[in-house]
Amino acid sequence: MAKAKGYSDENLSVRLADRYYRTEDASPDFLKNVEKIGMTIAHMCYQCGTCTGSCPSAPRSSYRIRKFVRRAVLGLENDALTDPDLWLCTTCYSCTDRCPRDIAPTDIIMAMRNLAFKREIVPRNFLNTVQFIYKTGHGVPNNDVNRAARVRLGLEAEPETTAKYAEFIPGIQKILDHYGLKDKADEILAEGQ
Amino acid sequence: MSGKTHQYAFFLGCIAPNRYPGIESAAIKTSRNLGIELLPLKGASCCPAPGAFGSIDLKVWYAMAARNLVLAEQMNTDIALICNGCYKSIWEVNHKLKHHDELRDDVNEVLKEIDMEFKGTINVRHLAEIYYDEKICGVAKLADSITTPLKGVKIAVHYGCHLLKPRKEREFEAEGVGDTENPMWMEELVAALGAEPVQYRNKMQCCGAGGGVRGYDIAHALDITNEKLINMSEVGADAITEVCPFCQLQFDRGQIEIGEKFGVEWAIPVLHYNELLGLAQGMSPQDLALDLHGISCEPFLNKLR
């Protein structure tokens, strides 16, 4: 009669059923979270390095996308989220375009950045963008030089966006407040002062 | 050729209307000459910036982009836009929300707070890709609209990243647009203006600005830009063209910043495709506010005269 494959020692069966090698400081949930947020299949990576070979940031820094994918698979959360290289991905998607395993390494990086932000690890420029959008709706707001140029072109001084229709800004603020994003950005920026 | 006018809700983004308004003005006027009407999308915001916002919290990125999409849904009109970064946010979030029920439900729960609902009733397109689409415009019609051919100039095309990549997640209505390794359709759009498009090494490399890198580590971003400028200058480019105001900012302001930081002097004018099209349709440099560019366009304009 057919028998389920396994070992007579039940503890050994359990240990070997976990196909992913982990060290003691590894977090098994890290891979799960990265895959959920990034909507991609990091565990399919066979470390070919096509991603790093396609990366415009790799030749001019120690940033290695392949290494970050491995960290995801091994659950090395601290290593990944505290490495400043995490923020050197330009999100050009060349690695994602070329990955022979149909993984989206770029979205692995995006997911890791989201997880880093939850731990309040985030460069200041990202938070400044949040503040601009909360206030004006624009990441890059209008200014007087530009307003004058617009008028010279026959355009209105303010574009047909939240810049002209300020009544839309409270809606934007509600969305950002729903996620507590503005408060968190303010708080982290204030701490860094 | 049909005389039908195609209407789109014009999603402006941030950098075009707030830093290079000539792009906005040119897009409206040049498109009108091609039977494409760009209507105001009132109350739109930042797309929001996929690198900066997506890096912090993708859920907020989805919800904020969805709000912009709903504004166009309320007009019952497809969106046209002029920026690759906006394309990533607006096209991709539209696509994701149409295909992932769980994501859409999450977003709609937030949008309910501001009396909005994402329904998934419209499509999103980049204006450059609309121009290339034979069903709407096409290269021949584009060439027919030219009154002042851009003769005697070599132009390097920078495609940028987020319009085309990743290829497996993109769907284009226009035929011949999808290739990401060596696309040539923008070169066709440039040749239609009478200019000579030039090929250069590593054409598809990123400008360096995206993903928040310009704000995080400007020297790193500029080093990528500098490599592209070397490759473009090797083939004698008189100007760079792109379809992304953020890439434009990186190449235009970036050349000045490279001079300050690395001591390397560059002076290659950078023009959005709609600015080039404007010139070729007879708009003046004043009509395009080319004086707002960091790198003077004069040497390029002089070569045209």
pLDDT at B3 over 80: no
Q: Does A139 touch chain B (CB under 8 A)?
A: yes
Domains and CATH numbers, chain B: 6-126 (1.20.1050.140), 147-304 (3.40.50.11810)
pLDDT of residue A1: 59
Q: Are B227 and B253 in contact (CB under 8 A)?
A: no
CB contact under 8 A, B42 and A160: yes
**Window B:148-207, CB contacts with A under 8 Å:** 161-162, 165-168, 180, 204-206
Structure tokens at B275: 């600015």
Looking at the structure, tell me whether residues A30 and A91 fall in a common domain.
Answer: yes
DSSP A107-173: HHHHHHHHHHHHTT---HHHHHHHHHHHHHS-SS---HHHHHHHHHTTS-SS-TBTTT-GGGHHHHH
Chain A, nearest residue to B286 by Cα:
A153
Indicate the pairing of strand B124-126 with strand B154-158.
Answer: unpaired
Beta-carbon separation of B224 and A57 below 8 A:
yes
Question: A159 in a domain, yes or no?
Answer: yes
Is A99 found in the same domain as A24?
yes
- Calculate how close chain B gets to A148, using CA atoms only, in Å: 10
In terms of domains, do A114 and A134 share one?
no
Residue B18 binned pLDDT confidence (cut-offs 50, 70, 90): very high
Q: Does residue A107 have a pLDDT over 70?
A: yes
Does residue A85 form part of some domain? yes
Domain membership of residue A11 (yes or no) is no
User: Where is the domain boundary, A118, A143, A170?
Assistant: A118
Q: Do A45 and A72 share a structural domain?
A: yes
Q: What is the rounded distance in angstroms from the CA atom of residue A169 to the CA atom of residue B238?
A: 42
Q: Is residue A140 part of a domain?
A: yes
Count Cα neighbours of B208 within 13 Å in the Cβ-side half-sphere. 25
pLDDT grade for A136, boundaries at 50, 70 and 90: very high
> Which CATH number do you get for residue A79?
1.10.1060.10
| Domain total in chain A | 2
**Shared domain check, A75 and A42:** yes
Average pLDDT over residues A2-15: 75
From chain A, the residues in CB contact with B60 under 8 A are: 175-176, 179, 181
Residue A31 lies in a domain: yes
Query: Is A171 a member of any domain?
Result: yes
Banded pLDDT at A17 (limits 50, 70, 90):
confident
B25 touches chain A (CB under 8 A): yes
Residue A87, chain B, CB below 8 Å: the answer is yes
Using CB atoms, pick whichever of A93, A129, A137 lies closest to residue B52: A129
Mean pLDDT of chain A: 93
Whether residue B53 contacts residue B60, with contact meaning beta carbons closer than 8 Å, is answered with yes
Both A89 and A140 in one domain: the answer is: no
Last residue of a domain, one of A69, A95, A118: A118
* DSSP string for residues in chain B: ---PPEEEEEE--SHHHHH-HHHHHHHHHHHHTTTEEEEE-TTB-----HHHHHHH-HHHHHHHHHHHHHHHHHHT--EEES-HHHHHHHHHHHHHHHH-HHHHHHHHHHHHTTT--------EEEHHHHHH-TTT--HHHHHHT-SS--TT-EEEEE--STTT-SGGG---SSTT---SSS--HHHHHHHTTT-EEE--TTTT---S-TTTHHHH-HHHHHHHHHHHHHHHHHTT-SEEEES-HHHHHHHHHHHHHHHHHH-------EEEHHHHHHHHTT--TTTTTGGGSSS--HHHHHHH-
**B positions 201-220 inside 8 Å of A (CB):** 204-206, 208-213, 215-217, 220
Residue B202: what pLDDT? 97
Contact at CB, B161 and A171, closer than 8 angstroms: no
| CB proximity A119 to B under 8 Å | no
pLDDT, position B274: 98
Q: Do A153 and B167 touch (CB under 8 A)?
A: no
Asked whether the beta carbons of B120 and B104 are under 8 A apart, the reply is yes
The rounded mean pLDDT for chain B is 97
Q: A137 and A96, same structural domain? A: no
- Select from A130, A143, A161 the Cβ nearest to the Cβ of B12: A161
In this structure, the answer to whether residues A36 and A100 fall within a common structural domain is: yes
Which chain B residue shows the shortest CA-CA distance from A133? B46
Residue B147: CA count within 13 A, CB half-sphere: 9
Q: What was the pLDDT predicted at B1?
A: 45
* Six-digit token string for B200: 């250069």
A49 and A96 housed in the same domain: yes
Q: Any chain B CB within 8 A of the CB of A105?
A: no
> What ipTM does the predicted assembly reach?
0.96
**How many A×B Cβ pairs under 8 Å?**
212
Cβ within 8 Å of B, A 35-74: 37, 56-57, 60-61
Helix (H, G, I), strand (E, B) or coil at A43: helix
- In chain B, which residues have their Cβ closer than 8 Å to the Cβ of A127? 56
- Same-domain status, A112 and A153: no
Measured between beta carbons, the chain B residues lying within 8 angstroms of A110 are: 54-55, 58
Segment B54-83 mean pLDDT: 98
Which of A94, A159, A168 is opposite residue B12, by nearest beta carbon? A159
Q: What part of B 267-296 touches A (C-beta under 8 Å)? A: 286-289, 291-292
* Percentage of chain A modeled with pLDDT above 70: 94
Phi, psi of A181 (to 5 degrees): -70, -40
Q: Structure tokens of A58?
A: 């790799």
Q: Are residues A27 and A99 in the same domain?
A: yes
Supply the range of the domain harboring residue A93. 19-118
> B224: nearest CA in chain A?
A56
Per-residue model confidence as pLDDT tens digits over B150-171: 999 999 999 999 999 999 999 9
Give a yes or no: residue A13 inside a domain. no
pLDDT band (50, 70, 90) for residue B290: very high
Residues of A in contact with B180 (CB under 8 A): 97
Q: How confident is the model at residue B112 (pLDDT cuts 50, 70, 90)?
A: very high
Q: List pLDDT tens digits, range B33-49.
A: 999 999 999 999 999 99
Establish if A39 belongs to a structural domain.
Answer: yes
Answer for the pair B194, B280: CB distance below 8 angstroms, yes or no. Answer: yes
Q: What is the pLDDT of residues B113-152, one digit of tens each?
A: 999 999 999 999 999 999 999 999 999 999 999 999 999 9
Among the candidates A103, A118, A133, a domain finishes at A118
- Whether residues A30 and A110 share a domain: the answer is yes
How far is Cα B81 from Cα B70, in angstroms, rounded to an integer?
15
A139-183 pLDDT, tens digit each:
999 999 999 999 999 999 999 999 999 999 999 999 999 999 999
